[in-house]
Structure 1
Amino acid sequence: MTRGSLAGAAAQAELAERLVDAALRVLAQHGSAELTVRRVAEEAGSSTMGVYSRFGGRPGLLEALYQRTFTELTDALAVVPVTADALHDLGELSCAYRRFALDGPHRYGFMFSRPLPDFEPADGLHAEVLQAAFAPLIDAVHRAGAQGLGATRAAYCLWCVMHGLVGLELTDVLRAPLTSWGVTGEDCAAAERMYRAGVQAMIAGLELHQAVA
């Protein structure tokens, strides 16, 4: 490969990175509905032709953004320390997942709620990014005593509870029950306590026990 072709490839890679960064900012600030080629190109200081030349159009850009959002989730869960107490680790992983969702509601919705009816990730991509992101959760469930495929199933059940509770919190559905159950709206930690309680109840229901080395 010549020096010129290397420079061209580097420029294309830099443009792709800049466009995905811009798409992530548009998503965070304005939501999925604003993820148009023109809006993202303007945010990136590029032209619409840059989007088409690098990604082939909006679907390719959205797929790259989809991969980036799951990379960020993967990173958020991967930094949770692994300890000798797998059940503790499960609790910490679940809280890291909640923080990730609350830190970027539009990002979270784009990942899991399919807000754009004209966008569907390529075959196999959804399973691939989920497997990478939730590897620490599956590992912790395995260390807590689940074996083989049972670990994956248990982790999936736990994620369903995490996802459901976070979804209710993001849509403010929890606000009315909290008030009716005697929890004041000023108690900012109430939703987190309920989330932790729900996760712990699910862990107990799965009958996971700390594996003895």
Structure 2
Amino acid sequence: MCNTVKVSPRKLDPETRAALVDIAARLLAEHGAEALSTRKIAAEAGTSTMAVYTHFGSMSGLVREMVHEGFSRLERQFAQVRRTDDPVADMAVLGYAYRQNAKANSHLYAVMFGGQSLAGFSLTESDRQFGRYTLLTVVDCATRCIEAGRFRRDDPILIAHEMWIATHGLVNLELGGYLIDPVDADRCYDTILNSLLLGVGDDPRSVSASMTASRKRRRREVEADPEPAEAVASPR
């Protein structure tokens, strides 16, 4: 199933390609690794099994595209967040965008970080660059926070990692249904982020004002799944 099949050059339908990626990720999320077969994917897509090989070369190639597509959607989500004169509020909205993207694309989120070995696929250094590339948006925001005097002079890459680790951990618990009532994910997010912002040097009054501003912006700026036309190019 993992062998690469050579096919003749032909015009490929991007809609079919996108559908195959979504269907494969959904089958994986709903039914586990055993559902990841060319026959099941093609049947769901209403096409032939050859379509998988035509578009991806192999099942392993399809899994790789699932990883890349997941991070591409995250980058499009980040691109929806406005750059304002309050970089701390921007940081809060970026974290919310990360959460919303994970919930809207939970079928892709499950494979983005290489947690499962599927169809002989394993992440390469190039694949991991897709994930690292999205972090650059957060690094840039952390740099702006430092330059604005909101954060102490520190390593913006380290700050971005702290923000990503905290948000990623919350997302895993949120998607897995592990949060304990009456604590909800939004409350957890605001509390964690508030502590992180204070920890990197911001003052309580400014943090409170920026968090309030971010809550007003979140649902207005963060869409469920932005259209790919506005995508920011990722390295391939």
Q: Please tell me the TM-score bracket, short chain as reference.
A: 0.7 to 0.9
CA distance in 1, matches of 2:41, 2:124: 21
The equivalent residue for 1:125 is 127
- Aligned-residue sequence identity (percent) comes to 26
CA contact (8 A) 2:17 2:55 kept: no
Pair 1:107-2:70 in alignment: no
1:193 to 169, 172, 187: 187
For residues 128-207 of structure 1, the aligned pairs below 5 Å read 128-145=129-146, 150-175=155-180, 178=181, 183=182, 190-207=184-201
CA distance in 1, matches of 2:15, 2:190: 36
2:121 is aligned with what amino acid?
F
CA distance in 2, matches of 1:131, 1:80: 18
Q: Which moved more, 1:35-44 or 1:159-168?
A: 35-44
1:108–1:54 distance in 2 versus 1, CA, 3 Å? closer
The Cα of 1:18 is off from its aligned counterpart by: 1.2
The Cα of 1:161 is off from its aligned counterpart by: 0.4
- The count of aligned residue pairs is 189
RMSD over equivalenced CA pairs, Å: 2.7
The Cα of 1:21 is off from its aligned counterpart by: 2.2
Normalized per residue, the structure richer in helix is: 1
Q: Which moved more, 1:38-47 or 1:165-174?
A: 38-47
Q: What secondary structure sits across from 2:173 in the alignment?
A: helix
TM-score for the superposition, normalised by structure 1: 0.77
Unaligned runs of at least 5 residues, structure 1: 1-7, 185-189
TM-score for the superposition, normalised by structure 2: 0.70
Q: What secondary structure sits across from 2:85 in the alignment?
A: coil
Q: Which moved more, 1:47-56 or 1:154-163?
A: 47-56
Unaligned runs of at least 5 residues, structure 2: 1-7, 207-236
Q: What secondary structure sits across from 2:155 in the alignment?
A: helix
Q: Pick 1 or 2: higher relative contact order, CA cutoff 8 A, min separation 6.
A: 2
CA distance in 1, matches of 2:75, 2:53: 28
Q: What secondary structure sits across from 2:11 in the alignment?
A: helix
